[in-house]
Chain A
Amino acid sequence: MTWSWEHFFQYLFSGYIVEGAWTTVWLAVVSMILGCSLGVVLAFMKMSDRRPMRLIANTYIWLWRGTPLLVQLVIIYTGLPQIGIRLGVVESAILALSLHEGAYFAEIVRAGVMSVNKGQEDASKALGMTWAQQMRIVTIPQAIRVIIPPLGNQFNLMLKTTSLASVISMEELLRHAQQLAQIEFRVLEVYLVAACWYILLTTIWAQVQKRLESHYEKPFGPAGKPEAAPSINKIADITSTQA
């Protein structure tokens, strides 16, 4: 069988593939939202001054970062039923992806919060802020700038990592490509179509990420260099040149 452009374009815009791509998008978005929420909780547990909290968070992060997502996925979907926990394909996929994301995002959030100058905490406390007020008014708005770029990278990874869920027969992009390949036998065309859709999704995301980053990267306040008070010498210079 030789390469066929005709089949390639036929698959590229086939409803079945587009449907798979759409599933990939929402699976990534939902897992990212849940994973990031878990990551925030874990990050604050890790920074807690209570030892059990830190222990739980650290153990979780250690376990989830130390094992492959693929293994976590099959444990959740095919292993848990053995002890009576039966989750559907979609639930298992979302659960595995978000639990995994949480472990990575926790470190990102922690790094962001730690990047905020210690003096900000002193000032917040001295102004009578509670810890929650300090986080909301002072720390988080500053930490966001540090968190946004790695958050963007995580979502790029997530868009591609969802393909692992095909092994538990989640009907996402790769799974639909596999099904199509089994019927059509045009393996190269079909998988290149899948690759094209992934690159389209990650490219669109890259543009969004660029916007977000440029929004959060610019220095606080309007662009421009710090305005120094004119020194006595400068004023003397001005007056002497005018004279």
Chain B
Amino acid sequence: MNTVEHTRNADRTLGDPIVQISNVAKSFHGNKVLHDVSLTVRQGEVVVIAGRSGSGKSTLLRCVDYLETIDSGEIRACGHLMGFKESAGGKRTALKEADIARQRQDLGMVFQSFNLFPHLTVLDNIVVPPVQVLKADEDATRAHARELLDRVGLPDKENAYPSQLSGGQQQRVAIARALAMKPKVMLFDEPTSALDPEMISEVLDVMIDLSTQGMTMIAVTHEMGFARAAADRVLLMHDGHIVEEAPPEKFFNNPDSEHTRLFLSKILSH
């Protein structure tokens, strides 16, 4: 990975909390994956989540977008209590799937495996969701999509199909597709793990660019260069707990948790 300069703006002003995860617990078939996890992310903040395989990073991210239900606790994102409706008396009722779908419109998510729609062209991958889901104007959306393709460095690929693109190109299209919905928060789940080494930086550059433009981001990644360059905070998850939560300098140089030291020694020895 190239040595990215410290582009992170030290005096970037962070806004109000936009994602609040409070005491969230989650099990799969009796196997507890998240234990009482709490995390607050403020508007404009970039949070990197690291941790070894199986520590619950993806599950946490998926819970934020309510792709997974939670067993206890609550998640507030972009003003929504994810998955629930709150009535005046504080009573909560589970939302119908169409209402949860509406809550998700404010969050963008990028997956390790890109998950582009293989039967649609690059442009349609980006244009179809806002037009169909948000009923956005088609011409305006198309113009916006072209701008986004420009921004992710793929201005000449709009008529290609995903199968004709390299992994790095597909992931950049996936980022553009998520941005076309004009999300308030972007969630990244190991966006570069499936990529050949030479394609990692083209995706990270797009993410860094996004962070400097003030996008709120929660990124699960082991790209510590990205964490150094763009993160306001780096978290370490271990067995379903957040065991470290620190600014990058402290995370890398002087972490509190033994788990972090162990994790860093493994990452850096690679």
Contacts and interface: CB of A to CB of B under 8 A. Distances in A.
A226 B157 CA distance: 13
A128 B163 contact: no
Contact of A127 (B119, B165, B169, B181): B181
B105 A220 contact: no
Given A219-B163, A221-B161, A128 B129 contact: yes
Given A123-B115, A226-B163, A129 B67 contact: no
A222 B164 CA distance: 9
A119 B178 CA distance: 15
Contacts of A229: 166, 168-169, 199
B: interface residue count bin: 35 or more
B166 A120 contact: no
B178 A126 contact: yes
B14 interface: no
A185 to B, nearest CB: 58
Contact of A220 (B102, B111, B113, B118): B118
B178 A127 contact: yes
Contacts of B104: 125-128
A148 to B, nearest CB: 14
A122 B111 contact: yes
Nearest to B116: A123
B133 interface: yes
Contacts of A120: 115, 117
Nearest to B122: A221
A219 B163 CA distance: 9
B241 to A, nearest CB: 25
Interface stretch (A38-46, A100-108, A130-138): A130-138
B163 A220 contact: yes
Interface string B155-193: 000001111111011000010011001000000000000
B227 interface: no
Contacts of A162: none
A224 interface: yes
A106 to B, nearest CB: 23
A123 B164 contact: no
Contact of A128 (B105, B115, B116, B169): B105
B240 interface: no
Interface in B43-82: 65, 67
B123 interface: no
B107 A221 contact: no
B258 to A, nearest CB: 34
B88 interface: no
A6 interface: no
A228 B199 CA distance: 11
Given A120-B115, A226-B166, A220 B128 contact: no
Interface of A: 117, 119-120, 122-123, 125-131, 133, 137-138, 141-142, 219-222, 224, 226-229, 231-232
Given A126-B65, A226-B163, 11 more contacts: A122-B109, A123-B111, A126-B107, A126-B178, A127-B181, A128-B104, A138-B117, A219-B163, A224-B164, A227-B166, A229-B168
